[in-house]
Amino acid sequence: SSEKFTLEFINSIKNNKTTEFSEQYRNVDLLIVDDIQFFQKKESTQEQFFHTFNALYQAGKQVVLTSDRPPKELSGMEERLLSRFHAGLIADIQPPDLETRIAILQHKAQEDNIEISYDILEFLAANITSNVRELEGSLIRLLAFSSLSNTDITIDLAKKVLKEVVGKNFRSAVSIEDIQGITGDVMDVSESDIIGKGRKMEVALA
């Protein structure tokens, strides 16, 4: 992480070991740094990273950086560093779609040798859209709930877990009965009339 890089650099200054720090990062085949935006306004760290970047680039090594925004929106960053970022391939990675989220859960379940129904995986995937860590965490939590309470994994148990993970604002499955009941309440028509054969105007509208 960018934080780890910064902290190690600060410690190397404090302990008079900047040479060892430089050698550690400039002799790798691949350097991946997460959340590069946290280098903003850290001038000495940026300078150290600039020289590290150049050393790796000139040696034909690979550098992969992630950020929560494109390089042109990184304020407080040295221009010479930004120019290096722009020189590489920039890829905008969007959150996974529903099908991909389901596939991630299926893979996780298979990896842990767990049998879980598609409906429950779909329910979790439909309600957790923020990130993959939270998605996998919800599955682990569901399995833990099931194991500790010695109960089968059901939609009801999944709802309970989701309330723990994302609060009450999840998209619960809506049944035909739910729709009939609410429609009847709002339009003052009984459910039996709605599903019956009579088609008076107020019933037909409902």
pLDDT digit string, tens, across residues 117-157: 899 899 888 888 877 888 888 888 888 888 888 888 888 88
For residue 168, give the amino acid letter: K
Is the pLDDT score of 50 beyond 60? yes
HSE on the CB side for 83, CA within 13 Å? 5
Q: Give 63's pLDDT tier (boundaries 50, 70, 90).
A: very high
Q: Give 166's pLDDT tier (boundaries 50, 70, 90).
A: low
What are the E-state strand segments in the chain?
30-33, 62-65
Is the pLDDT score of 172 beyond 80? no
Phi, psi values for residue 32, rounded to 5°:
-115, 120
57 by DSSP, 3-state: which? helix
b (16+ CB within 10 A) / e for 114-127: eebeeebbbbbbeb
The reported pTM is 0.53
